[in-house]
Structure 1
Amino acid sequence: MAGPLGQRVVAGVSGSLGSLTALHQAAAEARVRGAELWAVLAWEPPGGDLPTRGGSLPPSLVANWHRMASEQLMEALDTAFGSGGPGVPLQPLVGRGKPGTVLLAAADRSDDLLVIGAGARGRLRRAVRPSVSRYCVARARCTVLAVPPSPLHHDLASVHRRNVWKLPLRTGELTS
C-alpha cells in the first residue's frame, strides 16, 4: 500500500545505465517514504508526432509501438530488479510524448518525488539532444532528484570507445 497520502515516487526509465541507476535510487526513496514507485517510460513514433497529426498512420502501427515501449519498460524493470521486484508497490506506466512532458504529467502532485538520471552531458550533446533532466527541473511542480551517473558509467564508456577505435583494452584500468 502506498504512503499515508498516496505518496508517489516517479522514476523516468529508458533502459539506459543512467536511468537504471535512477530507478534504483527511486526504489530506495519509495521504501524510505512508504510510497508507491511509478516507473515511467515515454515513447514517440519514429520521426516524432508529426507523421501522426494528419492521421496517416494506421492505429495498429501506433498500438505496435506502444506494445514495444511496454516491453522495453518491463525489460528495464527486470534488468534493474530481477524477479523479486523493487520491494515496494510498483506501477509501470508507458506514455506517448516527449520524455520531459510525460514525466511531468505523471509527477503532477506537489507531494510527488520525481527521480531522473542526470546523465553525463556536454555542450555538443545538449545542442543535439536537449536534456530531459534540465527540462524537468525547470518545470516540475514537485521535488526533483537528479541522480548522477553510476561510477561504472565512465568505465563502460571508456571500454566502448576503445572497442569502436579497436584499441587494446588494459583490464588494470578497470580495477582502479
Structure 2
Amino acid sequence: MPFQRFVQTGRIAKCSAGPLKGRLITIVDVIDQNRVLIDGPLTGVPRQEYRLNNLHLTKYRIKFPFTAPTRIVRKAWVDNDLKAKWKSTPWSIKSQNICKRTRLNDFDRFKLRYAKRQRNKLLTVAFNALKKRTKSDGTTRVLKKDRRAKILKSKAEKKAGGKK
C-alpha cells in the first residue's frame, strides 16, 4: 500500500519530543529535508522551526497557502473542527489513557490493581461455571459455583455503588 501521510503544508502532526511533546501542530512550510515551520494556534504552540524526526504525522490535513500567517491557520483549524475530530480518534483516546495512568499515585495504583484482581476473580468463577455447565451431551445444570458467582457479582456491585 502506498504512503498516505506526506510532509506537506497543512498536515496536522503530533510532537513527540521536547517541551511540545503531545501537542498538535500544523506544518506551515517545509524548510529543508530535516526541518519544517510549524504553528499551533489553538494548542499553544508558537510558530517555530521543528525537526521532522520529532513529529508523528496524522491523517488530517487542512488547506491554506504555505507560509500563511497564524490568523489564517487558526481560521482553517476552526473551520475544519480539528479539535473534535482529533478527540474522537483511537490514537487520542489511547494517549489520554496513558496520561491518566502516569498521573496515578501509589495508592491509586494499588486500588486499580485490587479492582482488576476482583474483576478477574469474578470472571474466572463465571467462566468455570459455564465450562462445567456445558456437557458433551448438551444438557445443562445449575452448580454451586454458578450461584457463588452471582453472589460475588452482587457484592461487587454493591461495593462499587456505595463508594460513589
What TM-score does the superposition give when structure 1 sets the normalisation length?
0.27
What TM-score does the superposition give when structure 2 sets the normalisation length?
0.28
User: Comparing both chains, which one has the higher relative contact order based on Cα–Cα distances under 8 Å and sequence gaps of 6 or more?
Assistant: 1
Choose 1 or 2 for highest CA Rg: 2
